[in-house]
Amino acid sequence: MKRVAIARGASWEARVSTGAMCARIFERHNETIRVRNPNIGVAKLARIIEATLRLGNRRGFHATSLRDLSKASGVSMGALYSYFDSKAALLSMILGEFMPTVTSILVDVSPEVRSDARRHLAWLIDTHVRLSEAMLPWFVFAFMEAKAFPRAERHIAVETEAQTEGIFADVIRRGVKDGVFAVSDADLAATLIKPLLQDWYLKRGKYRNRGTSIEAYVAAVTEMLAMGLGIQERAQTRVLAS
Amino acid sequence: MKRVAIARGASWEARVSTGAMCARIFERHNETIRVRNPNIGVAKLARIIEATLRLGNRRGFHATSLRDLSKASGVSMGALYSYFDSKAALLSMILGEFMPTVTSILVDVSPEVRSDARRHLAWLIDTHVRLSEAMLPWFVFAFMEAKAFPRAERHIAVETEAQTEGIFADVIRRGVKDGVFAVSDADLAATLIKPLLQDWYLKRGKYRNRGTSIEAYVAAVTEMLAMGLGIQERAQTRVLAS
DNA sequence: AAATTTTGAGCGAGCGCTCGATTTTTTCTG
DNA sequence: CAGAAAAAATCGAGCGCTCGCTCAAAATTT
């Protein structure tokens, strides 16, 4: 039993490396990407996407020109367009791979853990923090670009963010039903969780300076949430609005 | 005593109208604004800034061109430049008035309320939510533009955001000292508060659809925080990191 | 030698911004 | 208080520049 949970928990690490991400992007977009050879294509795509994340996280994707990107990635202007049809398509490529990847990993919980709302919540926190650590540039990029972007791409971003919040809201609702959490508005509670998780990757420097380990951070967030959600036999709070 | 508190609390409403904001901006920038007559200048500045907030909140300030702004405000390209030296200066004007205004209002608490950490926290929540309601476009604009912008302007934004968080952190620290709150990391707790307040103006539509009143929202946030901060005699949580 | 991949100068469009001409407002004068 | 003169404010076509994007030619791989 435990071995299954560990296998599940450990399995995502290989899937979220830049190489693995880019291999999937290359496959998924094989109709628009004009380069046929995967050995050439995946490697170059990785250079392009790495540079996009690096420059985008510094100045913002919008403010990054394709000439900058060409210089930083070492891929000529023309070659860039063998990998995407437009600048917006490049953004869509990145977000379109990143967001479903995160969601699929957060959804992939063992039935054993899932059966206990408190354990499930703790697992979600742990997994999310470790995932954001492993995919730091992607998380920062997605956060920075989620707003203020072409209606289509922006819609996906907002949608997926809502989905992630929904995963947390579901666990909380289940916990309330099972009597382990006492909280009136699960959606509001889920809204409260998100920034706690975001703090780890948005203020990475702060925690590095303080010498805070991942384990300590996860423990602190889990504990703070345990209080905030009024675990176990605490009284029910009043209902929001009505 | 109470009259003083009420007078303080009620007094900010006039200061945050677009007209009042623009009058102060006009005064503060009288060296760069080439229009001398305040009757003409303030009125036109208001049209410019209203249009900037409207377009900026829709597409993002960066993506809004000065030609769009000229059309939307009814002020010609040339005339715009009688009010600011550059597009960046326009942004700086807006953020430079907005952010100190918010801070000054949140700091202006009566000594009576201030003396009780729990009441002080409740007052801060109430005031912040009502303020964000009164200045909705400004809050949304500042939130959208805080990241991904010219180093100088961005610095002010980050700085002021930290300042607001600091106000909350101070109250929490005082509450811990007085034994009314039990929380290990006041900064982390303050980080937790911010998104709860932001939800009101960032997802205004959600709460409008639900028919949630300001009073109900403030009550829900206050209650949720009361639990999260472990008010009164609850046990101390473990310390983050070490 | 055929197919694939890369190259970068060049295109039109739209950007932030300017400035001489023009309109509007204020001040001066008989 | 009318009307001229001065001052203030507005106008928008146009400047130089950079942007996203293209394509014929060159380099590389098969």
User: Which of B33, B65, B91 is the last residue in one of the domains?
Assistant: B91
Interface test with B, best of A227, A229, A232, A238 (most B CBs within 10 A): A227
Answer whether residue A62 is part of any domain: yes
Cα distances (Å, whole numbers) of residue A88 to A28, A144, A154? 17, 15, 11
Answer whether residue A191 is part of any domain: yes
Query: How much is the pLDDT for A196?
Result: 86
Which residue range(s) make up the domain with A55?
A: 2-90
Q: d(Cα B96, Cα B142) in Å, to the nearest integer?
A: 10
**CA torsion, points A207, A210, A216, A222, in degrees to nearest 10?**
-60
Answer whether residue B178 is part of any domain: yes
Answer whether residue B53 is part of any domain: yes
The b-or-e profile of B189-227 (16+ CB within 10 A means b, else e) is bbbbbebbbbbbbbeeeebeeeebeeebbbbbbbebbbb
Amino acid letter, residue A127: T
Is A216–B185 a contact, with Cβ atoms under 8 angstroms apart? no
In chain A, which residues have pLDDT < 70? 1-10, 148-151, 230-242
Is residue A66 located within the same domain as residue A104?
no
Greatest mean pLDDT among A200-209, B74-83, B186-195: B74-83
> Which residues are in reach of strand C, CB within 7 A?
A 34-37, 40-41, 44, 75-79, 81-82; B 37, 39-40, 64-68, 77-78, 81, 85-88
**Per-residue pLDDT for B62 more than 60?**
yes
Q: Which residues of A touch B212 (CB under 8 A)?
A: 240-241
Query: How much is the pLDDT for A56?
Result: 95
Is B62–A62 a contact, with Cβ atoms under 8 angstroms apart? yes
Question: In terms of CA atoms, which chain A residue is nearest residue B238?
Answer: A220
**Per-residue pLDDT for B232 more than 70?**
no
Domain count, chain B: 2
Closest to B170 (Cα-Cα) out of B222, B121, B238, B227: B121
User: Which of A44, A59, A90 is the last residue in one of the domains?
Assistant: A90
Is residue A115 located within the same domain as residue A224?
yes
List pLDDT tens digits, range B120-173: 999 999 999 999 999 999 999 998 887 766 677 777 777 888 899 999 999 999
User: Which of B91, B111, B142 is the last residue in one of the domains?
Assistant: B91
Q: How far is the CA of A27 from the C1' of D21 (A)?
A: 24
Tokens of B156: 């002010």
Residue B26 — left, alpha, or beta (φ > 0 → left; ψ -120 to 50 → alpha)? alpha
Is B240–A217 a contact, with Cβ atoms under 8 angstroms apart? yes
Is residue A113 located within the same domain as residue A166?
yes
The shortest CB-CB distance from A195 to any of B183, B194, B207 is to B194
Higher pLDDT, A156 or B112: B112
Is residue A85 located within the same domain as residue A106?
no
Residue B1's pLDDT band, with cuts at 50, 70 and 90, is: very low
Q: How far is the CA of B49 from the C1' of C24 (A)?
A: 23
Kindly report which listed range (A89-103, A135-149, B6-20, B81-95) carries the lowest average pLDDT score: B6-20
Contact residues for B97 (Cβ-Cβ < 8 A; gap 6+): B21, B24, B25, B28
Amino acid letter, residue B14: A
Is residue A41 located within the same domain as residue A156?
no
Residue B101 · residue B16 · CB < 8 Å:
yes
Is residue A160 located within the same domain as residue A222?
yes
CATH number for position A133: 1.10.357.10
Q: How far is the CA of B39 from the C1' of C20 (A)?
A: 27
Residue B10's pLDDT band, with cuts at 50, 70 and 90, is: low
Answer whether residue B154 is part of any domain: yes
Answer whether residue B180 is part of any domain: yes
Residue B165 · residue B81 · CB < 8 Å:
no
Query: How much is the pLDDT for A229?
Result: 73
Closest to B99 (Cα-Cα) out of B29, B146, B54: B146
Q: d(Cα A132, Cα B24) in Å, to the nearest integer?
A: 43
**Per-residue pLDDT for B240 more than 60?**
no
Query: How much is the pLDDT for B214?
Result: 96
Give the largest CA-CA distance in chain A: 64
Give the three-class secondary structure for A33: coil
Query: How much is the pLDDT for A232?
Result: 41
B231 and chain A: CB distance < 8 Å anywhere? no
Query: How much is the pLDDT for A10?
Result: 60
Is residue A108 located within the same domain as residue A213?
yes
Query: How much is the pLDDT for A233?
Result: 39
Helical residues (DSSP H) of B29-180, grouped into ranges: 38-59, 66-73, 77-80, 87-107, 111-114, 117-134, 136-145, 151-177
Is residue A216 located within the same domain as residue A139?
yes
Give the burial class of A20: count Cβ atoms within 10 A of its Cβ; 0-12 exposed, 13-18 middle, 19 or more buried.
Answer: middle
Give the three-class secondary structure for A72: helix
Average pLDDT (B96-103) is 95
Is B144–A144 a contact, with Cβ atoms under 8 angstroms apart? no
Is residue A42 located within the same domain as residue A122?
no
**Per-residue pLDDT for B116 more than 90?**
yes
Kindly report which listed range (A86-95, B211-220, B223-232) carries the lowest average pLDDT score: B223-232
Query: How much is the pLDDT for B78?
Result: 98
A185 and chain B: CB distance < 8 Å anywhere? yes
Higher pLDDT, B229 or A54: A54
The shortest CB-CB distance from B237 to any of A60, A63, A223 is to A223
Q: How far is the CA of A239 from the C1' of D28 (A)?
A: 68
Give the three-class secondary structure for B180: coil
Answer whether residue A67 is part of any domain: yes
Is residue A176 located within the same domain as residue A117?
yes
Phi, psi of B34 (to 5 degrees): -85, -15
Query: How much is the pLDDT for B231?
Result: 57
Q: d(Cα A227, Cα B225) in Å, to the nearest integer?
A: 10
Closest to B95 (Cα-Cα) out of B157, B163, B24, B53: B157
Answer whether residue B233 is part of any domain: no
Nucleotides of C under 7 A from a protein CB: 4-10, 14-20, 25-26
Closest to A183 (Cα-Cα) out of A222, A224, A237: A237
Closest to A105 (Cα-Cα) out of A195, A167, A197: A167
Is residue B203 located within the same domain as residue B118?
yes
Is residue B65 located within the same domain as residue B114?
no
